[in-house]
Amino acid sequence: MTTLFDYIIVGAGSAGCVLANRLSANGKYSVLVLEAGGSDQKFWIQTPIGYGKTFFNPKVNWMYTTEKAPGLNNQANYWPRGKVVGGSSSINAMVYIRGQAEDYDHWKSLGNVGWGWDDVLPYFKKSETNSDGGNEYRGDSGPLYVNNVSSQYHPLTKTFIQAGQQLGFDYNADFNGKSQEGLGHYQITTKNGLRMSAARAYLHPALKRDNCQMVTDAQVNRILFRHNAAYGVEYKRRGEIHVASANREVIVCAGSINSPQLLQLSGIGPAKLLKDFDIPVVHAAEAVGRNLQDHLGYTHYYKSKVPTLNNQLYPWWGKLMAGMKYVLLRKGVLSLSVNQAGGFIRSNPDRLRPNLQMYFAAITYSMAPADERPLMQPDPYPGFLNSVGQLRPASRGYLEIDSTEPGIHPKIFPNYYSAEEDVVEMLEGVRVMRAFAETPALSNIIKHEITPGLNIDSDDELIDDIRQRSSTVFHPTSTCIMGSNARDSVVDSEGLVHGVRQLRIVDASIFPTVISGNTNAPVIMVAEKIADQILA
């Protein structure tokens, strides 16, 4: 195999797939993609609801665990991340959300020129084909298919939306249109009943070109530097060490955990940390691994008086019927996500914009073991769940290497609920969920609240339950943040790493702040935008 390329991309996740496609499209440049995981051509990856099967599968999942978080009653949190072609877009719940315009205007206000809402909207549109067609906000000719499958969603999703309207929340037919605020149905990245990962949208078409190659099962050990410029990478594959060189740039797209880990292993990071592990300092950068942000979710479970997805998927014959419908027609529950309805609301009228995200699912798996996510094995009674999460938490965490061995997971300190305002906001969210349950629409179908139970009702009791049962909704960002000041950021507004040359980072780790919602669509947008900057 050729060992000299114009661009080396570390990681075939969402950003890496976009860059591989865009940088190889004109035929001028050779591109090598190195992916630590294996092929995405697996049934449970391509099947939308299959993310329940990949949730704890080490063959396609890094399966990180955080350090114990004092704010979660000293509990650790499990963080699945994609270790497979397509990265986390191959194992996520496929919800397509861009965030709020104010998120990006805030990025710009922090000194990131060119990252305001008006700057990024064209790249969101460029990346997608919306099943409902294009308009001022939506694209109609991009590689990523975004599907409105609300006609297939469970009828209880409409009951949830009706309950919200009874509380005064507006219906929103498109969270990615003019405004994000309101309740409605989630659009997902599927096409013809199959998952539309970044690999399917971008990478596999690019690999048909002679100038784009990929090596899987390739664990990158370190970035190689000469005179403060990145000239290549060292990687391990099947026990053998290889070196690949880059004429132009090394582009790290390894995600919010692996990207800062790789930088630290390569000599870019906090000086004391590097010294503690006897790693030669290429560039002392205190922000590498810092500013970690993530979304937490908190769920209430209910027994239902009416049938839910539990009734369809718990009995063996229900599984058989769902399987046959999917195999024959590529339709039905297996072709969907269980995150079908929800929205973006203000926890109280004084909030200037939506600060909470809600998820409603006509399914429960409250009786499942802690080490399973059995979307195809729900509870044996009709039930549904309602979840709430903060959109812009104030708490900040960090991560750092625990070994010079690349295969050893870094230590992740999420510091959840270390900011008291996050606890206050989540408590407001819980009160909103309780109000939902008391509306005529939902109260008529609720048999009783299973968890936490109505006996848990005081602020102190609810806060303790929030700390006990909150968990990540899998949106870690900002561990290599973008900024104009090299002292407190890692990359500039084009993803170029401060203090060195020919090295770029493109993934969620460079988000200046976490956006208001699911993170996959913004990662793809960031990669589209920086690809244009590279080619320019």
Report the catalytic residues: 475
Displacement of CA 400 from its chain's centroid (Å): 20
CA–CA separation, 456 vs 453, rounded Å?
6
Q: What are phi and psi of 532, to 5 degrees?
A: -65, -40
Listed residue (327, 335, 303) closest to 451, CA to CA: 303
Rounded to 5 degrees, what angle do the CA atoms 32, 38, 44 make?
A: 130
Contact (CB, 8 A) for 264 and 516: no
User: What is the H or E stretch that residue 527 is in?
Assistant: helix 520-535
CA distances from 367 to 371, 375, 430, 451 (A): 12, 12, 22, 11
Enter the tokens of residue 484: 């104009």
CA–CA separation, 31 vs 205, rounded Å?
14
Within the chain, how many helices (H) and strands (E) appear?
16, 24
Half-sphere exposure of 318 (CA within 13 A, CB side): 14
Listed residue (129, 124, 126, 123) closest to 144, CA to CA: 129
Half-sphere exposure of 4 (CA within 13 A, CB side): 1
Bridge partners for 389 per DSSP: 297, 357
In the block, tokens 């072709």 appear at: 335
Contact (CB, 8 A) for 338 and 376: no
Contact (CB, 8 A) for 506 and 521: no
The DSSP result for 201-223, as a single string, is IIIHHHTTSTTEEEESS-EEEEE
Q: How many CB atoms lie within 10 A of CB 448?
A: 11
Listed residue (516, 512, 508) closest to 488, CA to CA: 512
10 CB-contact burial (10 Å; exposed 0-12 / middle 13-18 / buried 19+): buried
Listed residue (534, 475, 423, 472) closest to 103, CA to CA: 475
The 3-state DSSP class for residue 86 equals: coil
CA–CA separation, 104 vs 112, rounded Å?
9
